[in-house]
Chain A
Amino acid sequence: MQQTWTIAGNVDGLRLDPTGMTWALQNNDGNSTLTLLKAGSSTMSLLTYGNSYTNVANRGFDDAVFTNGNTFLSETNPASNTDAIVLKLTSGVSSPLQVSGILNSQFTGVNLATGKTATDTITDSDSLILRPNGDLVLTGEADRQLVFIHNAGAASQSVSFLNLFGVDGKVDDSAFNGKATQGYFLFTDTKANTVYKINVSGLSPNMTFVDIGHDFGWVNMNTGLVTPIFVGQSPHGLVFVPAAVPEPGTLMLVGGGILALARRFWRG
């Protein structure tokens, strides 16, 4: 154990921003605030949201993603189809924090299982995660869906979604290996009061993994079928840590050595 912090209120989203500050999003079900802290320091900063946050019962900020200089937040419990569930931070990182919606509870997107464009509604927005290709991935917890937002916040923004099946229960965090073929997963099993580690190798590029119901599993992105990898009590938080990859310079040296050996071998 390196360090602990105590924060008043319920904390859900927990992210590291590009400057190295940890964002602890508090009170995702109303009266949201944000605490910033830094590993190695006991100092914490409490920030509040401005009037662009519709602070009604049960609605608050759950998770955050930092990409291309932008910060995006997911907001819980939309009360109507026109309530925003993904928002962009439009102010600096200081009180009052101001936001603007980029995706409403009801939207039009491509159903990845059918390939057809359809109207979809997320009623239980939750985790927001950055996919290695730059898409935002929103979990519809009770909706049992993953929503992919391409070019988030831009005029060219587009949305697709996938209904998950094969495993009962609500969906929580998702994780993606990108180009990495090996590494490990860390995931919290909340009811078991345990954090597990699973090593993995032989991954295909761009696989998708989720915590869903009692399971941690991988998702067939063509169908939405979830295949269990681990069955526990209630896996919630999930992260994939890729194995270290040799630096390009190291690869070139190794490759050069192999070529030299092959040449010598061929000449006899």
Chain B
Amino acid sequence: MLNVARLGARLLALAAFAPLLTLNLNASPTFSAAQVFAMGSAQLGNSPDSIFYGGVRYGSPSRTAQIRQARSAQARLYAIRRPP
């Protein structure tokens, strides 16, 4: 048979974990400030346009290259390593 004090301690411990259980239910998106990933003609040519993440699979991203494109009479495509 459980000791009342011990039971009380366990209920208190469970209550302490309750915020963790409900935390995700109340979540709202948090966006970081925009960081410059790449810029300037040395990295992008001019006027970067389309971009994709190579090999992306939802829930399981692979570590492949990204490519972006600068729109012009002669388009240049760039493969760039996945950012950290």
Contacts and interface: CB of A to CB of B under 8 A. Distances in A.
Interface in A174-209: 178-181, 184, 186-204, 207
Nearest to A268: B6
B53 A195 contact: no
A25 B53 CA distance: 17
Interface of B (DSSP majority class): mixed
A186 B53 contact: yes
Contacts of B64: 39
B77 A24 contact: yes
Contacts of A193: 39-41, 44, 46-48
Interface residues of B, number: 54
A184 to B, nearest CB: 8
A266 B79 CA distance: 54
Nearest to A243: B61
Nearest to B10: A266
B78 A1 contact: yes
Interface of A (DSSP majority class): strand
Nearest to A238: B51
Contacts of A110: none
B51 to A, nearest CB: 4
A199 B35 CA distance: 9
Nearest to B40: A193
Given A22-B77, A202-B28, A191 B50 contact: no
A200 B32 contact: yes
Contacts of B50: 11-14, 173, 188, 236-237
B30 A197 contact: no
Contacts, number: 188
Given A1-B80, A198-B35, A199-B31, A11 B75 contact: yes
Contacts of B44: 193-195
B27 to A, nearest CB: 4
Given A5-B76, A14-B50, A200 B30 contact: yes
B77 A14 contact: yes
Contacts of B56: 239, 241-242
A11 B36 CA distance: 24
Contact of B32 (A22, A198, A242): A198
20 contacts: A3-B78, A5-B76, A10-B72, A11-B50, A14-B67, A20-B55, A26-B75, A179-B58, A179-B59, A186-B37, A186-B53, A190-B47, A194-B44, A194-B48, A196-B36, A199-B35, A200-B31, A202-B29, A204-B27, A245-B60
Interface of A: 1-16, 20, 22, 24, 26, 37, 39, 132, 173, 178-181, 184, 186-204, 207, 218, 229-230, 232, 236-239, 241-245, 265-266, 268
Interface of B: 6, 10, 13, 24, 27-41, 43-44, 46-56, 58-61, 64-69, 71-81, 83
Given A200-B30, A201-B29, A237-B48, 8 more contacts: A4-B77, A10-B72, A10-B73, A12-B50, A39-B54, A195-B68, A243-B61, A265-B10
